[in-house]
Amino acid sequence: MSLWNKLTGELVDIIEWLDDSDDTLVWRFPRYANEIKYGAQLVVREGQTAVFVNEGKIADVYAPGTYTLETKNMPIMTTLRGWKYGFSSPFKAEVYFASMRQFTDLKWGTQNPVMMRNAEFGAVRLRAYGTYMIRVKDPALLIRQIVSTDHRFTLDEITGQLRDLIVSHFAGIVAGSNIPVLDLAANYPKLGEFLGQKMGPEFLALGLELTKLLVENISLPPEVEQAMDRRTSMSVVGNLQNYTQFQVANSIPDAAKNPGGLAAAGAAIGLGAAISGQVGQAMNAGIGAGPGGTPPPIPGAAGAFFVAVDGKQVGPLDLGTLQSRISLGLITRQTLVWRQGMAQWSPAGESPELAAIFASVPPPLPKG
């Protein structure tokens, strides 16, 4: 054996990837002119997969382990190059390493509100955001579809596309879940699982697996949330007349400290009682009446309606106020209403006066 043959026999290449990053999906092994010597050692560590590309075509794929690059360990490459009886000369090929670990805490979210139709509120605009996790499922498919000849393919190069993919399907998937808007917060885990199942095939087509998708928040437009807050505040206050009297009573200690003393406090009590009586009659008409009670007619209230809210009577409300509450979803076709001349309480959707208002509001979506 000549000195040259002895030296080349001892110089056996080692092909491996020691990943010191946290965002690399695919990395191409650097080779001078892409030449690999016969008998080179290929080291594929746990959490990695190696892919050989010969003349632009994907050939052999290697799972974790150590391989000596010989004819018996390169079945597809041997077939492509016609090495029927072995080979001993350097050959050209590209070696790509794919990281098979999970990539976590990736963000997704709607840059603009997404319009969708809801059975309770009609057409609504929603914002949402959350996180998701992925891993490489099919390295060869990922290289073929996305990576191409990129020597280092990172998360930054694909997360934008994945985020847009999730958002583009978000409205249809949420609508298809049949979860009411007000119940979305209580169903974030269920909704995240539902979204993940629906989006899974889209990721697999790119060679990736969507292992987890989490919904962290879904919010309504500010004006709708403010209307809901006002409705909640009304429910908390309850009887407005009693609430006003309570506020006046709490002001007595402060009034006694003023120059007017208790005389001013007495005047405040009298004024507060008068105001609370008037406001209470206007805002809480009918509150405290039994389920079958019928409020007496109010002069000048023709055309105005009383509305049943949480088992209590509110009103009278004119058509303008009713239209505003119907558009916000606070009054539905099933809400019970009554006005002067009606024999009994009836669903709002059956009132001829309110028919024109409900005509512009879409009916609830059929369930199932």
Q: What DSSP string runs through 162-181?
A: HHHHHHHHHHHHHHHTT--G
**Six token digits for residue 55:** 């003349």
| Cβ-contact 116, 171 below 8 angstroms | yes
278-322, pLDDT tens digit by residue?
545 554 544 444 444 555 544 444 568 888 888 888 878 888 787
**Six token digits for residue 190:** 């269920």
255-265, pLDDT tens digit by residue?
666 655 555 55
Q: How many CA atoms lie within 13 A of 322 on its CB side?
A: 28
Cα–Cα distance for residue pair 138/147, rounded to 1 Å: 12
Of the two residues 94 and 243, the one the predictor is more confident about is 94
Nearest Cα to 317, choosing from 293, 341, 301, 330?
A: 301
Q: Which pTM does this prediction carry?
A: 0.58
Query: Which residues on neighbouring strands pair with residue 123, listed in sequence order?
Result: 117
Look at residue 238 in the predicted model and tell me its pLDDT: 57
**What amino acid is encoded at 211 in this protein?**
T
| Cβ-contact 115, 175 below 8 angstroms | no
Look at residue 289 in the predicted model and tell me its pLDDT: 45
**Six token digits for residue 169:** 């399907």
The predicted model gives 144-162 an average pLDDT of 92
Nearest Cα to 203, choosing from 97, 154, 195?
A: 195
Cα–Cα distance for residue pair 285/241, rounded to 1 Å: 11
CB count in 10 Å sphere of residue 59? 20
45-100, pLDDT tens digit by residue?
999 999 999 888 999 999 999 999 888 888 888 888 877 777 777 888 899 999 99
| Cβ-contact 308, 336 below 8 angstroms | yes
Of the two residues 266 and 210, the one the predictor is more confident about is 210
